[in-house]
Amino acid sequence: MFLDMTQQRNPRLIEVSLKLHQQGAISPNTYVLDLDAVILNASLLAEEAKKQDIELYFMTKQFGRNPVVAKAIVEAGIKKAVAVDPWEALTLSRNGIKLGHVGHLVQVPQRMIPTILNLNPDYVTVFGYENAKHVSDASLRLGRKQKIFLRIANEGDFIYNGQEGGFTLQQILEEIHKLESLPGIIISGLTSFPCVLIQGDCPTTTPNVQSMQKVKNLLEQRGHENLQMNMPSATSVATMNLLKDNGATQGEPGHALTGTTPLHATKELAEIPAMTYVSEISHFYNSRAYVFGGGFYPRSHMNSALIGSTVNNLKKVSIIENDPTNIDYYGTLNTANVNIGDTAIFAFRTQIFVTNAHIAIVKNISSNPELLGIYDANGNAVD
């Protein structure tokens, strides 16, 4: 999906990825991340957010919750993270990363709420009154009030399978009195997902945004002020103006940090590609070549790979996408005209935290590449 753009805009990343594998410094099933490119992308995002008066919380699941990368993003100007689930919150906090938002997309389980609140997140998202009450009770026991976001998921909104949950407009009308009576919370804003989709080459808002705006108007009529409008999905330099125009006060860049939103596949945008996936030719079968897997992702939309043992003999070959119902022990190339042991380089949409891949962090790729370390998919250093 991003292979051509990576070749055009960050060819040294491909060269270094190849060299690291051929030297044995990294194994197959390893992502290689260009730390300097991520720092550049984060600084560009922070600069644009300041212009648009939008607060950013960065997402780390795409690059495996990696502490080295997260700390570099903080230094580049995005000071706090969003945790997609409570386990990510624990990982981030353990590595000294401040939390801006927890509980979206996965709300905090009841018995984990006190632990998560002790991490001092700015905001916790709740999907319903019951969860809000649990947060309120835990906050009172800690002697504080917790700011919360209400997740809006009205009938007719765009919601991915496996991510259902939140308040419909009818539920807000029925339960707002009960929510307002909870003494340990402050209703501080709204969120939904996804708020932006990429249709072809064009970013557009989803119906979720209109639902959020309706609830915001209702809450303001009831005296709630300074409500945050947290609008995640596809946050990038190119989409921040759209977010601002639709009332967003917060965005949550993830793929933009590695230059891999759908827009980045076809356009030369501000952010540059920052990550490859490296494998190796394992064997042949029925006129096809197979590479070691473990790090592929069903929604990657990849179509080709670069194969070879030196920069001068790299060639592009088409791939056959894996059946998402099966485990990705291997990836399939639509050719047998390669050599066992050759390096295979991919560039596609990632979600490293749901794989068993490693991630190699490299700095100074453009001048004197230095491998800073190799980590697992949850940010732990690998010996």
Residue 58 lies in a domain: no
User: Do 99 and 173 belong together in one domain?
Assistant: yes
Residue 261 lies in a domain: no
User: Do 207 and 234 belong together in one domain?
Assistant: yes
Number of domains within the chain: 2
- Which two three-digit tokens encode residue 195? 């708020």
User: Do 26 and 115 belong together in one domain?
Assistant: no
User: Do 95 and 226 belong together in one domain?
Assistant: yes
Q: Residue 284's domain is classified under what CATH number? A: 2.40.37.30
Specify the amino acid at residue 206. Answer: T
User: Do 279 and 332 belong together in one domain?
Assistant: yes
Which tens digits make up the pLDDT trace of 314-326? Answer: 999 999 999 888 9
User: Do 343 and 234 belong together in one domain?
Assistant: no
In eight-state DSSP terms, residue 281 is: E
pLDDT at residue 287, rounded to an integer:
95
Average pLDDT, integer, range 247-268? 95
**Does pLDDT of 383 surpass 80?**
no
Q: Looking at 224, 252, 280, which one is the last position of a domain?
A: 252
Contact predicate 33/359, CB 8 Å:
yes
User: Do 175 and 118 belong together in one domain?
Assistant: yes
Residue 289 lies in a domain: yes
Q: Residue 171's domain is classified under what CATH number? A: 3.20.20.10
Q: How many CA atoms lie within 13 A of 10 on its CB side?
A: 33
User: Do 159 and 213 belong together in one domain?
Assistant: yes
Residue 285 lies in a domain: yes
Residue 158 lies in a domain: yes
User: Do 248 and 292 belong together in one domain?
Assistant: no
Q: Looking at 195, 223, 252, which one is the last position of a domain?
A: 252
pTM for the structure as a whole: 0.96
Which tens digits make up the pLDDT trace of 319-373? Answer: 999 988 899 999 999 998 999 999 999 999 899 999 999 999 999 999 999 999 9
Q: How many CA atoms lie within 13 A of 173 on its CB side?
A: 6
Contacts with 159 (C-beta within 8 Å, 6 or more apart), sequence order: 153, 166, 193, 208
DSSP, collapsed to helix, strand or coil, labels residue 97 as coil
Residue 334 lies in a domain: yes
User: Do 109 and 84 belong together in one domain?
Assistant: yes
Q: Which residue range(s) make up the domain with 116?
A: 79-252
- Residues, the chain, total? 383
What b/e readout covers 298-335, taking b as 16+ CB neighbours within 10 angstroms?
Answer: eebebbbbbbbbeeeebeebebeebeeeeebebbbbeb
User: Do 179 and 287 belong together in one domain?
Assistant: no
Which tens digits make up the pLDDT trace of 112-134? Answer: 999 999 999 999 999 999 999 99
Identify the residue whose tokens are 């804003």.
189
DSSP, collapsed to helix, strand or coil, labels residue 123 as strand
User: Do 28 and 96 belong together in one domain?
Assistant: no
Residue 60 lies in a domain: no
Q: Percentage of residues in the chain with pLDDT exceeding 70?
A: 100
**Does pLDDT of 242 surpass 90?**
yes
Q: Looking at 204, 220, 252, which one is the last position of a domain?
A: 252
Average pLDDT, integer, range 294-311? 92
Q: How many CA atoms lie within 13 A of 48 on its CB side?
A: 22
Residue 383 lies in a domain: no
